Structure 1
Amino acid sequence: MTISEKIATLFPASEDIPPQHRLPAPVELRTYLVAGELRHWEGASQEVFSPVCVRTPDGPERVRIGSFPLMGGDDAMAALDTAVATYDNGRGEWPTMTVADRIGHVQRFAARMKERRSEVVRLLMWEIGKTEKDAAKEFDRTITYIDDTIDALKDLDRVSSRFVIHEGIIGQIRRAPLGVALCMGPYNYPLNETFTTLIPALIMGNTVLLKPPRHGVLLFAPLLEAFRDSFPPGVVNTLFGAGRTVTPPLMASGKVDVLAFIGTSPAANALHKEHPKPHRLRTVLGLEAKNPAIVLPDADLNLAVEECIAGSLSFNGQRCTALKIIFVHESVADHFLNLFSRALAALGCGMPWEPGVMITPLPEPGKAVYLSELLEDARSHGARIVNDGGGSVNCSFFSPAVVYPVTPAMRLYAEEQFGPIVPVVPFTDVSTPIRAIEESDYGQQVSIFGRDPQTLANLVDHLVNQVSRVNINSQCQRGPDIFPFTGRKDSAVGTLSVSDALRSFSIRTLVAAKEIDLNKEIIADIVREHRSNFLSTDFIL
């Protein structure tokens, strides 16, 4: 069977879907969490169609998998007012709770969350087309992230559980919450990356508005009861609907203290501009990237191809950390392309539940049309598709395409394609990729492939001042989660990692007093009698 024939027959008939992977029924989400209550929604709803299609006599059709509330501006403001009242200018139960007690609430939530693993994994597969293996990995990694965040906070609090005496001043320095956090995650990692802002925001004492991405809403349905039962009323509040409808009034109110957003820089800029006092808004942003790979003439090409295949095409290239352009020295370009094309032909393409599959249907309607436009633009400027069947489309499925030679005249050179297209640029002098990185609007990561230590050292010394992570002979990636995750230029604001996120969602604050007998007696009494949750020497084990 040819590649074109495989693509044409990619989608199954309904009866061919394995019973264990079918959705028992569409998920009709009709509740939302506000003020500790799961309230029934009676308004308009948004239907959700899977990227997975089924064969019909009229051709492949997307499977309807459920619906969710289309909340409006008034609904969003009601949820915001709840979060503001629950925070109560820092006097609320949650922001004044001990660190140990907040940790206990998060641990209870994690335990409840684990009970719904199979449901969430299945919805990740059906809602965004993530493979079963990657969906399970995303869930498990999220649980690990919660555990690691708890451990990091314990370490941070242990350091703070003592008094500092300097120049006649007694002080205790701890981290305090900021207020109300609006947490908005991306559709490519709707669970994990949403939780990498949500969990640190919560555990540091902020109240939260949780707005899931437009693709990846239904998978939160199994978790609503866990949120309700694990946290005090009003600490976690959910918003469902179009971001352009529910978020502008929230920001315009000036009552959002932290914007945690993972998406595009134009959207982040628009949200930031809505806030009446942007200087008071803490922003934690994960934005676009055009991460390059540089393949030097002495590179181990087998290793480079292996890493570049995974880096550019894992989850169809729909990752901010994906390799989105590959610079290859022209002396090895032909060999690299041959190896890459052979490796690409061996990749499994199909439905998310099929074993060994890497390339799956795309969740965004219209994405295949956009990617096809990028290919046509590249062809019009002299590029070609190197691999057989590259760029073939069947409904929501887009066959990966390797494009060569890509030049600055093409849209693929600068645009973040966020899909399974691999642009390859030949170069004769390493100044070419260096200049491209310097002139790029983005500065998240880079991968460099080579053997000569001095050449690599020279590149490292320059590139660490252009991007936030340099990967040697390995693909770009986020993890491990203890490493800082950020970017320069338009790629990020703030740093996300287990420990950095705790700092991003809090501020250092202190209580100080002159070292006189009266003050020492007062502080000693407060600590001894456990009168304050802030002034304390309790040590969390």
Structure 2
Amino acid sequence: MTTSNLLAQLFPTSAADIPEPFRLAAPIEQRDYLVDGQLQVWNGPLAQVLSPVQIDDERVHIGSTPLLDADTALTALDAAVRAYDRGQGEWPTMRVAERIQHVEAFLRRMREQRDAVVKLLMWEIGKNLKDSQKEFDRTCDYITDTINALKELDRRSSRFELEQDTLGQIRRVPLGVALCMGPYNYPLNETFTTLIPALIMGNTVVFKPAKLGVLLIRPLLEAFRDSFPAGVINVIYGSGRETVSALMASGKVDIFAFIGTNKAASDLKKLHPKPHRLRAALGLDAKNPGIVLPEVDLDNAVNEAVTGSLSFNGQRCTALKILFVHEDVVDSFIEKFNAKLATLKPGMPWADGVSLTPLPELGKVDYLNALVADAAQHGAQVVNANGATSRGSFFYPAVLYPVNPQMRVYHEEQFGPVVPIVPYRDLETVINYVLDSDFGQQLSIFGTNAVEVGRLVDVFANQVGRININAQCQRGPDTFPFNGRKNSAEGTLSVHDALRVFSIRTLVATKFQDSNKALVSDILRNRDSSFLTTDYIF
């Protein structure tokens, strides 16, 4: 297909071209937000929500959301503070089994909204139908896995330990009020990987949806309201500069859970007047390299590199953002890569088999074009057919070669469908790139020489959070640790680790004496304490 035909046929020409199950009946004007167990109505200004989907070269207006001001955001924070009540509130003192029941109730209600959330994922951020369904289902699975992990953690904590004539019970307890903010590329899944652990461990939460993918939270507001005590979960909207800055500056936030850029995280953390009291769980920038060695299964390397660099148009923190390919195989690699890329189908998110979709961020196409122009100025070429062609919100992937350190794309996280390929002969070039990088989330090594691969594993083990051998970078499985070094992360998120990030171990201890044993036995028998318990959760 020629470039002109590719772009001309990409977008629907009218609403009638959109399959009926995926049409939006009318723009959604959302004025409600959740504070203190009540859906409040906002009568102030609204933020317009534009879809990456275009009709007649205009982005479709799909709705609007509240542009709350700082004072209103602070009412949500005050509700969370009251619900936590310095650790004495109903939620933080509730027995673990009862908190689990509340989360299970929410999950049941959430599953009822699958179709509504999936449709909005497609319309708001351009994620294709299959991946939108996968994001919803994976989020539900994550909640189930978190519940099971907490049950197991609580079972291990239900016994007493006797050490050096001291009897003690160690249990995990909440930290306080959490502020949870997720990214636009996984506005449901990655947000809930912090939100759910924060809640289930007994913290109260103020939740602000991502800058894009905002409307899709609306179908869940009533489920939040009905499933948790008042003030435990509060959902706000608006400009982060206006709302979140005020929340952090108040000093009342105890946990900052944020997935975004390291600059934004640093700026917000600096606003907190008591930084030593602030626990942070951060997923930040990444420039994950893929390293193709001269001895390699080239077909596998290409398949993994195409998927790793272009899934959801490369808009993933775990995407392969730069490829270092040995000179001996680079020509063959590019030929195979471009052939694989050419099989990826562009189109609207709901179309069957579509892999390449429009980009949700305003100005993103201009940014990517600027990266390509800068690379061309310094000696690179677009080496794939149709590469860097664009129309409106759609940008066809550009494979750039040969890329060198003079180019912006060598250093900047493009977060989009631009694939820089760097030829190398000396492996030290690649090693130094990783050592000198400001980021340290993941990398991928593609090779079959055990000596070379083993050496690189040892070199990079202290540089990144995950090393993938003959596989793309990725987050899952969710039971594996997800973290990073340098400017890429703070804290570890996984089903198990997140429970620990949002809690702290507390010990109750006493001398192992008859009077103390009798006292503790009375407390347990009469259920006088929610903390001291030998209950076993099935």
Q: TM-score range by the shorter chain?
A: over 0.9
Mean alpha-carbon deviation: is it higher for 506-515 or for 261-270? Answer: 506-515
Determine whether 1:446 maps to 2:449. Answer: no
124-133 or 10-19: which moved more?
Answer: 10-19
Q: The residue matched to 2:185 in structure 1 has which SS?
A: coil
Alpha-carbon offset, residue 3 of structure 1: 2.9
Structure-to-structure mapping, 1:202-213, within 5 angstroms: 202-213=199-210
More off after superposition, 10-19 vs 404-413: 10-19
- Determine whether 1:393 maps to 2:394: no
2:268 alignment partner, one of 244, 250, 271: 271
1:158 is aligned to 2:155: yes
Query: Counterpart in 1 of 2:114?
Result: 117
Counterpart of 2:35 in structure 1: which amino acid?
Answer: V
In the other structure, the counterpart of 2:67 is 70
1:8 maps to amino acid: A
Structure 2 residue aligned with 1:170 = 167
| Deviation digits for residues 329-385 of structure 1 (CA, Å, limit 9, x no counterpart) | 011111100111111111000100011111100000000000000000000000000
Residue deviations 1:244-282, cap 9 Å, x none? Answer: 110111111110000000000000000100000111100
For 1:61-89, what per-residue CA distance to the aligned partner results, in whole angstroms no more than 9, with x for missing partners?
Answer: 10000000000100111110110011000
Q: Distance in 2 between matches of 1:8 and 1:390?
A: 16
Instruction: Spell out structure 1 runs of 4+ moving beyond 2 A.
Output: none
Give the whole-Å Cα distance in 2 for the aligned partners of 1:24 and 1:431: 57
Partner of 2:362: 365
Distance 1:292 1:166 in 2: 48
2:50 alignment counterpart = 49
The alpha-carbon deviation at position 21 of structure 1 amounts to: 0.8
> Could you tell me which residue of structure 2 aligns to residue 306 of structure 1?
303
Aligned to 2:159, what secondary structure does the other structure show? Answer: coil
Shift, 1:432, TM fit:
1.1
2:420 to 418, 423, 430: 423
Letter in 1 for 2:4: S
C-alpha contact (below 8 Å) 2:402/2:422 kept by paired residues: yes
Structure 2 residue aligned with 1:432: 429
Normalising by structure 2, report the TM-score: 0.99
Q: How does 1:481-496 map to 2 (within 5 A)?
A: 481-496=478-493
Between the aligned partners of 1:91 and 1:146, the Cα distance in structure 2 is 26
Amino acid at match of 1:36: G
CA contact (8 A) 1:4 1:389 kept: no
Contact 2:309 2:320 in 1 (8 A): yes
What is the CA deviation profile of residues 292-343 of structure 1, one whole-angstrom value per residue up to 9, with x for unaligned ones? Answer: 0000111111111100000000000000000000000011111100111111
- Please tell me whether the aligned partners of residues 53 and 61 of structure 1 are also in contact (alpha carbons under 8 angstroms): yes
1:443–1:466 CA contact under 8 A, matched in 2:
yes
- Answer whether contact 1:86 1:207 (CA < 8 A) is retained: yes
Deviation at 1:101, TM superposition (A): 0.3
C-alpha distance in 2 between matches for 1:313 and 1:50: 20
Q: Structure 2 CA distance, aligned partners of 1:116 and 1:24?
A: 17
Q: Structure 2: how far apart are the matches of 1:81 and 1:213?
A: 21
Structure 2 residues without counterparts, runs of 5 or longer:
none
Cα distance in 1 between the residues matched to 2:184 and 2:8: 27
8 A Cα contact 1:4 1:392, kept in partner:
no
Structure 2 residue aligned with 1:471: 468
Shift of residue 5, structure 1, vs aligned partner: 2.1
User: What residue is the counterpart of 1:26 in the other structure?
Assistant: 27
CA offset at residue 167 of structure 1?
A: 1.1
Q: Distance in 2 between matches of 1:109 and 1:493?
A: 28
SS in 1 for 2:516: helix
Rounded to whole Å, the distance in 2 between the matches of 1:2 and 1:99 is 60
Q: Distance in 2 between matches of 1:3 and 1:387?
A: 12
**Which of the numbers 530, 538, 541 marks the counterpart of 2:535?**
538
Specify the alignment match of 1:7 in structure 2. Answer: 7
Match of 1:500 in 2: 497
The reply to whether residue 321 of structure 1 matches residue 318 of structure 2 is yes
Q: Does the 8 Å contact 1:175/1:506 carry over to 2?
A: yes
Please tell me whether residue 290 in structure 1 is matched to residue 298 in structure 2: no
For 1:285 and 1:477, locate their aligned partners in 2 and report how far apart those are by CA, in whole Å.
17
Per-residue deviation at 1:24? 2.1
Matching residue of 1:142? 139
Shift of 1:215: 0.3
Kindly indicate whether the alpha-carbon contact (under 8 Å) linking 2:199 and 2:205 is maintained by their aligned counterparts in 1. yes
Deviation of the 1:514 alpha carbon:
1.2
What is the distance in 1 between the residues matched to 2:471 and 2:167?
A: 49
Question: Is 2:96 the counterpart of 1:95?
Answer: no
Amino acid at match of 1:214: K
Aligned to 1:225: 222
State whether residues 46 and 69 of structure 1, in contact with CA within 8 Å, keep that contact through their aligned partners in structure 2: yes
Deviation at 1:393, TM superposition (A): 1.2
Q: CA RMSD in A?
A: 0.7
Partner of 2:346: 349
Matched, 1:38 2:35: no
Taking the aligned partners of 1:28 and 1:309, their CA distance within structure 2 comes to 39
Amino acid of the structure 2 residue aligned with 1:167: Q
Which stretch of the first structure deviates more once superposed, 322-331 or 453-462? Answer: 453-462
Q: Is the 8 A contact 1:328 1:426 kept in 2?
A: yes
Matching residue of 1:196? 193
**Which whole-Å CA distance do the structure 2 matches of 1:214 and 1:467 have between them?**
28
- Asked whether the equivalents of residues 3 and 389 of structure 2 are also in contact (C-alpha less than 8 Å), the reply is no
Percent identity over the alignment is 63
SS of the residue 1:245 aligns to:
helix
Structure 2 SS opposite 1:461: helix
Does the 8 A contact of 2:172 with 2:504 survive in 1? yes
The runs of 5 or more residues in structure 1 that have no matched partner are none
Whole-angstrom CA distance in 2 between matches of 1:29 and 1:298: 56
Aligned match of 1:408 in 402, 405, 408? Answer: 405
User: Displacement, 1:8?
Assistant: 3.0
- Note the C-alpha offset of 1:506: 0.3
How far apart in 1 are the matches of 2:406 and 2:143? Answer: 45
The aligned amino acid for 2:482 is: F
Matching residue within 235, 253, 257 for 1:256:
253
2 CA distance for matches of 1:3 and 1:243? 39
The one-letter amino acid paired with 1:523 is V
1:460-486: CA deviations, max 9, x gaps? 111111111000000000000000000
Matched residue count: 537
SS in 1 for 2:40: strand
Query: Structure 1 residue 4: deviation in Å?
Result: 3.4
Counterpart Cα distance in 1 of 2:214 and 2:344: 29
1:513 is displaced (CA, Å) by: 1.1
2:471 maps to amino acid: S
**Partner letter of residue 7 of structure 2?**
I
Amino acid at match of 1:44: P
The CA distance in 2 between the partners of 1:109 and 1:477, in whole Å, is 28
- Residue 83 in structure 1 maps to residue 80 in structure 2: yes
CA contact under 8 A between 2:309 and 2:321: conserved in structure 1? yes
The whole-number CA distance in structure 2 between the counterparts of 1:269 and 1:198 is 20
Structure 1 residue 289: deviation in Å?
Answer: 0.2
